[in-house]
Amino acid sequence: MRRVDERLDQTFAALANTTRREILARLAEGAATVNELAEPFNMSLPAISKHIKVLEHAGLITRGQRAQYRPCTLDAAPLQEVSNWTEQYRHIWEASFDRMDDYINQLKNKEKDNE
């Protein structure tokens, strides 16, 4: 279990940054080079490379090695682990939404009674 927790820590740390989430969103469309990933950002290539290294360390992306062409690709396995972890809390969210729905219905009924 400890290894899973460490992977989740790395994944959440990587996802905590907007730039890295945007890089992942771009890679969800397909493989891209570092230069292609850097295009929409107003930052240096070394800065983008640091973000990519964090994503690689978390296992969220892999880099190919075909001569000089080293495209980055998304590896969704860590995201599945996040999904599995959050799923255990679904019943809490649903219960909360159910209570809120009940409350809203109560307010609507009071409003109808006051008309």
- Cα gap 62→100, rounded to integer Å: 42
> pLDDT exceeding 90 applies to what percent of the chain?
62
CATH number of the domain at 40, please.
1.10.10.10
| Residue 49 is assigned to a structural domain of this protein | yes
Q: Where does the pLDDT of residue 65 fall: very low under 50, low under 70, confident under 90, or very high at 90 and above?
A: confident
97 has a pLDDT exceeding 90? no
The b/e string for 69-101 (b: 16+ C-beta within 10 A; e otherwise) is eebbebbeebbeeeeeeeeeeeeeeeeeeeeee
Domain extent at residue 82: 2-88
Q: Where does the pLDDT of residue 81 fall: very low under 50, low under 70, confident under 90, or very high at 90 and above?
A: very high
1 has a pLDDT exceeding 70? no
Tens of pLDDT, residue by residue over 3-59, are 878 999 999 999 999 999 999 999 999 999 999 999 999 999 999 999 999 999 999
